Structure 1
Amino acid sequence: MSHKDSYQCIIVGGGIAGLQAAIQLGRYNHQVLVIDKGEGRSTLCKCYHNVLGWPDGVDGQTLRHLGRQHAEKYGVTFKEDEIVKVEKQGEKFKLQGTSLNCYESKCLLLATGIKDHIPLEIPNLKECLGISIYICPDCDGYEVTNKKVIVAGSGDPGANMALTLMYWTKELIYINSDGKKISESVQMNLAENGIPMIVDKVIGVETNGEGRFTAFLTGDGNKIKGERGFLAFGGNKVNTDLLKQLGIERLENLHIPTNPRTKETNVPNVWVAGDIGVHSELLTIAMGEGAQAAIWIHKRILEQRRDSIDKFFSNSFENTNENRGI
């Protein structure tokens, strides 16, 4: 790859955290590369309702498009690729993508996010995400206030989602779509709160044609009608396998602990922002962490620059003395 030594920071992941970091670093006039494979939560959500400045909601793809335009305004470079290998060689990190392209930088920010276990193969499901079918009660619980909600999920995760949503509505039905066993205590909790449970595989979504959920369709031919839907299948994938290659500490749930002030990991010059960190999985938190990490990356780049200058003059002084025979 040409000019591979010119990047002062590489950001892996072009979602909300990665884009916010790129904007901040671009405003410091640093040479930044964002490598993204074009997937992630923000590509699926048709409407975020809890973001400052967007009272009527905003599409995740719109945010990504605007964020990329914003970052490119400051000279940030974007590459579509999936990084599959990363290693430290000397002072630099060397990354390789599925494209076989190689990338180098002294600073690395990982914002690779989480892949939700969402059965996107179900007809009409994708078009409803963020509009009338939701996955996050902290983000969208408000949207189901006093509405009839059908929760489709798996075992305890789905049942616990239904129980969580009782804060906003009492009209709830839980469809245990894969029939996984539910713990006795959770079953009792559902019964005590009057939440019916149906064991039946969800095979389709009925809509009004505009992304508005009206019912889940099941394998037994049932139509479970409601005003809104929620999903909770569990088994989300935390995308931190890449960080394992660098020996970065991962918790039992595969999330990454970081310095709370700087977002730097236990490996120097590697930062983390967004959903793979240890916190609630919210877009607005990811955005803040992206900016937070970028500020400290900027400080490190300045340190590296000073060290390089000091090393240059030190070597020049030694060479001059050698030439003089001192």
Structure 2
Amino acid sequence: MMFDAIVVGGSYAGLSAALQLARARRKILVIDAGQRRNRFASTSHGFLGQDGRGPGEIVADARKQLAAYQTVEFSDDLVEAVGKADKGFSAQTASHGDFEARRLILATGVADELPDVPGLRERWGKSIFHCPYCHGYELDQGQIGVLAVSDMSMHHALMLPDWGPTTLFLNGAFVPDADQLAKLQTRGVKVESEPVARIAGDQADVELRDGRVIPLAGLFTMSKISPASPLAAQLGCVLEEGPLGSLIQTNGAKETTVAGVFACGDATRSFSSVAIAVADGATAGAGTHQSLIFHDH
């Protein structure tokens, strides 16, 4: 069966892209392996109308609504390989064989490479975060830490005092210059140069190598990101190095450098949230639909 589009990834961006195509009465297939980036978080925030809901609940509702459209099919599977076919593209899955479509939408997300600090990984998404807009308010103006990974962590450190008293843990990642120190002082940010030994406690208490313990309501840090799937690279899509890692390059309609292949969500932008992923997916879905009409790749 030839689909108008295959959407690889059934999280916020992928389902949003699929919805636009479903409403245009196009025949689409959503293939999803069920690995949402925010699966570690208990609640999602900052998405209008869904603030404070569980991430899985938002996805389940969206999928139920999408399934009501008769031209939509789902496959709970992993796409292992993609390639060009006679009339479009093929997708090879781990369990359900091959599928073909005239267009391909990659909404495969990213993988987070976290700082190598004991106790950090098991608290990721629970008391250690990357997005102040998503999780800062719930810390209730308690003590907040920023674990530096490079001088880019200055951005976090200067933002977070709006959510609570903030300490920047340099952890050997960089040494602030005089101008940076002045900016931190203006924002009331404490600077701690003693290396971090580990994260402990019920929240995110920072234990320093000299034995001191800094109790925190929450800790923020930056992960290094990379596409969670090799599919874009398999197709020859251009990847660009952003400040936080590799992203799939797209144009304003969310089409990649390979004609007929679109991409959306966290794999295409460095600033990410559920609300932004949904908007990005809607753009990709509309762009894909219009390409089916106006561009015969």
What TM bracket, shorter-length normalisation? 0.7 to 0.9
Matched, 1:173 2:175: no
1:181-215 CA-to-partner distances (Å, cap 9, x unmatched) read 313428962874433344123243x22xxxxx263
Unpaired segments ≥5 residues, structure 1 = 208-212, 308-326
Match of 1:67 in 2: 62
Match of 1:136 among 121, 127, 131: 131
Please state whether the residue corresponding to 1:255 is helix, strand or coil.
Answer: strand
Q: Are the structure 2 counterparts of residues 187 and 85 from structure 1 closer, same or farther at C-alpha, using a change threshold of 3 Å?
A: farther
Q: Are the structure 2 counterparts of residues 250 and 123 from structure 1 closer, same or farther at C-alpha, using a change threshold of 3 Å?
A: closer
Match of 1:269 among 260, 265, 290: 260
Residue 104 of structure 1 aligns with an amino acid whose one-letter code is E
> What pairs with 1:75-94 in structure 2 (closer than 5 Å)?
75=70, 76-94=72-90
Identical-pair percentage: 28
Task: Tell me the TM-score normalized by structure 2.
Answer: 0.81
Please state whether the residue corresponding to 2:18 is helix, strand or coil.
Answer: helix
1:168-190 CA-to-partner distances (Å, cap 9, x unmatched) read 33x223445xx443134289628
Residue 247 of structure 1 aligns with an amino acid whose one-letter code is G
**Equivalenced residues, count:** 288
- Asked which structure has the greater RCO (Cα within 8 Å, sep 6+), the reply is 2
> What pairs with 1:1-326 in structure 2 (closer than 5 Å)?
5-55=1-51, 57-75=52-70, 76-99=72-95, 101-118=97-114, 129=125, 132-144=127-139, 146-158=141-153, 160-169=155-164, 171-175=165-169, 179-185=171-177, 189=181, 192=185, 193-204=189-200, 206-207=201-202, 213=203, 215-216=205-206, 223-226=213-216, 228-239=217-228, 241-253=230-242, 254-260=246-252, 262-278=253-269, 280-302=271-293
Task: Tell me the TM-score normalized by structure 1.
Answer: 0.75
Distance 1:142 1:46 in 2: 15
Distance 2:104 2:150 in 1: 38
Q: Which has the higher helix share?
A: 1
Q: Which has the higher strand share?
A: 2
Distance 2:99 2:287 in 1: 22
Asked if the contact 1:21/1:294 (under 8 Å) is kept, the reply is yes
Distance 1:303 1:96 in 2: 27
Residue 235 of structure 2 aligns with an amino acid whose one-letter code is L
Unpaired segments ≥5 residues, structure 2 = none
Greater C-alpha Rg: 1
RMSD, aligned α-carbons? 3.2
Distance 2:102 2:19 in 1: 19
Distance 1:137 1:257 in 2: 26
